[in-house]
Amino acid sequence: GEDVEQSLFLSVREGDSSVINCTYTDSSSTYLYWYKQEPGAGLQLLTYIFSNMDMKQDQRLTVLLNKKDKHLSLRIADTQTGDSAIYFCAESKRRAGNMLTFGGGTRLMVKP
């Protein structure tokens, strides 16, 4: 199977919370990242978490890492229409020179 997997699509209403999930296979991951890609644009780093952390919060964003299950999630509180985009999780491994391995991306649609 793929190294990093995500569900393809998520739809939420404006003001609700969004939770985007990601699973990975390699327990030697060093850092895990969430990138956002708006239509026709490059990728923008939203947040990252070091592999020895369980949680990281940054304003409306909360990242949870379950190392036992190799599961990463991104929670967006009070989701806005401007949050509509594709969200990629990615991992880096020190033994691979910290190159990024991306998941397939989750398209978040926020309905007004």
Q: Rounded to 5 degrees, what are φ and ψ at 18?
A: -115, 140
CB of 54 to another protein, least distance (A): 18
* CB nearer to another protein: pick between 40 and 112: 40
Sequence-distant (6+) residues with CB within 8 A of 37 are 43, 44, 85, 86, 87, 88, 105
Tell which one of 11, 80, 81, 98 touches another protein (CB under 8 A).
Answer: 98
CB of 95 to another protein, least distance (A): 10
If residue 94 lies in a helix (H) or strand (E), which one and from where to where?
Answer: none
Footprint on this chain of another protein (rule: CB under 8 A)? 30-31, 33, 35, 40-45, 48, 88, 92, 94, 97-100, 102-105
